[in-house]
Structure 1
């Protein structure tokens, strides 16, 4: 088993000490430092490059969410596990791709589960990076997304996405009966998806080409795409030419 390095960031000495005691019971992990506030967490993460960061949210200086955002810019950011006494930050935590969200006082079993989850994520991330090394004709398009839900992180293959709909500053990826929100702009997402597989039909909608069952016109004469799940997607005026392109007319 590869040893994981851990960094704790918590401004409560007793909480940090409890985490250290729990970590000592878990095989295959090594504590490399303890930070007492958000700014120190960023600094020590830059020095030690930990695999996993056990991160409090309410701290002096940078809070935990801000720390996670700052570290996400690293070439190999740590897997973040939030450890907090407050449950109202759960949604914000998963928006920054947290691996897990633990409530204080932390239960030994939940900490071990969170670290196992972090290990799985890091292993998959490193394997994906290794697979791409040395591939000369690697596709310029995105082949996967990582989205958060209450169970942790979910890998979504681009080819499995049926459609994408915009919700303010977020994009909702629809796969069968399920959907996930990711923080992305529609324009960047359109650029990242293979145009051979996906087509933008509206300023707020992208659809996988083979998910389109047909087209019809509504009472106003506008095109409407009929989708495989028996829903409809209006075609925006600026995207009407896409209908002719798809129908090869």
Structure 2
């Protein structure tokens, strides 16, 4: 990678683009090479200008930011992507397309600098690794999540999650005594989490396999999973076969 980081900004809000331009101009070895006002223009300018990095809004006319990132990821020389948005509910979807970082508006100068450092590291690692073919062994599963709390956004490694429970339109990620809500569907999470590590036991619960201490029958004859923290998770009728699958291993 060249010493100067070439950045393309894609945002349909002029004030947001202007703010990013001001923040970028304060930095050494960072050059803003263009501004796109919607998703289609972001794809076209990326193909024309070959930036190292996209600072990409999510909610835009035409193609949204997630779809832009998805389309560009198919290219061999795809740029790194940092999402810049006013909405935290897109964090899971953002990392499904391998975003480097996820910034909340209004963007803070120090937070931007941290995100750009991450982008440089990712780009450098890609260049050192060199071009390679995709293989079936490449991870297709989510390795991390971002969730909001009072301090901002928190990165949560998938392997640290003990269980996921549904709360209406939200999913709660449990890690020890702490938990975070994310806006996502249970079905999408089931598909996104590695089935070798996680198992769905109920329409409203996914559990990490090694967090299951055992199974027992309740008074009505239904299976209940005993978890490592001493709590119990009922097993839904349609998921009862999962008990047998786990027990015979």
Alignment of 1:1-249 (within 5 A): 2-9=3-10, 16-17=17-18, 19-37=20-38, 39-50=40-51, 51-53=53-55, 55=57, 61-62=61-62, 67-73=64-70, 74-75=72-73, 76=78, 78-82=81-85, 89-92=86-89, 94=91, 96-97=93-94, 99-103=102-106, 110-120=108-118, 123-124=121-122, 127=125, 130=129, 138=137, 142=141, 144-149=143-148, 151-152=152-153, 154=155, 156=157, 158-166=158-166, 171-176=171-176, 177-179=178-180, 181=182, 183=184, 186=187, 189-190=190-191, 192-195=193-196, 197-248=197-248
Structure-2 change in CA distance of 1:223 and 1:121 (3 Å): farther
1:24 shift after superposition: 2.0
2:8–2:34: 8 Å Cα contact kept in structure 1? yes
Distance 1:201 1:119 in 2: 40
Distance 1:99 1:136 in 2: 27
Distance 1:115 1:154 in 2: 17
1:26 shift after superposition: 0.4
1:154 shift after superposition: 1.9
1:30 shift after superposition: 0.9
Q: Which consecutive residues of structure 1, in runs of 5 or more, have no partner in the other structure?
A: 83-88
1:221 shift after superposition: 1.8
Q: Which consecutive residues of structure 2, in runs of 5 or more, have no partner in the other structure?
A: 95-100
1:53 shift after superposition: 1.5
TM-score by length of 1: 0.69
